[in-house]
């Protein structure tokens, strides 16, 4: 660095910009790791908080959704208001 400064006194601009860019890269890496860990923790918390739904209930829910879809289709066919 000192040799370059002796050859060209304006080289300090390059060194300062290099340090600033390198600092931003390192900070972004730390932030990425923290955000990734928070996302993993959030996903784990959601899976632990969600109670297991028995198969019979999930089948009944699916049947109700199918019936609702058919009913919406009939309403659309009749031209009724939605």
Convert the pLDDT of each residue in 19-77 to its tens digit: 999 999 999 999 999 999 999 999 988 887 766 667 788 889 999 999 999 999 998 88
- Same domain assignment for residues 64 and 40: no
Contacts of 75 (CB under 8 A, 6+ apart): 82
State how many domains the chain has.
Answer: 2
Provide the token pair at 66. 């199918």
Provide the token pair at 77. 């066919």
pLDDT value at 10 more than 50: yes
- Residue of 42, 30, 80 lying closest to 72 (CA atoms): 80
Which residues span the domain enclosing 78?
53-82
Specify the DSSP class assigned to residue 79.
Answer: T
- Same domain assignment for residues 33 and 71: no
- Same domain assignment for residues 1 and 28: yes
Q: Following CA atoms 31, 37, 42, 48 in sequence, which dihedral angle do they give, to the nearest 10 degrees? A: -170
Please report the pLDDT score of residue 82 as a whole number. Answer: 47
- Same domain assignment for residues 10 and 40: yes
- Same domain assignment for residues 42 and 5: yes
């Amino acid at each position: 660095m000192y040799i370059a400064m002796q050859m060209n006194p304006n080289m300090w601009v390059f060194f300062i910009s290099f340090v600033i860019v390198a600092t931003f890269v390192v900070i972004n890496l730390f932030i990425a790791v923290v955000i990734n860990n928070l996302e993993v923790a959030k996903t784990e918390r959601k899976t632990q908080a969600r109670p297991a739904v028995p198969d019979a209930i999930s089948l009944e829910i699916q049947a109700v959704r199918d019936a609702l879809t058919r009913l919406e289709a009939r309403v659309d066919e009749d031209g009724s208001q939605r």
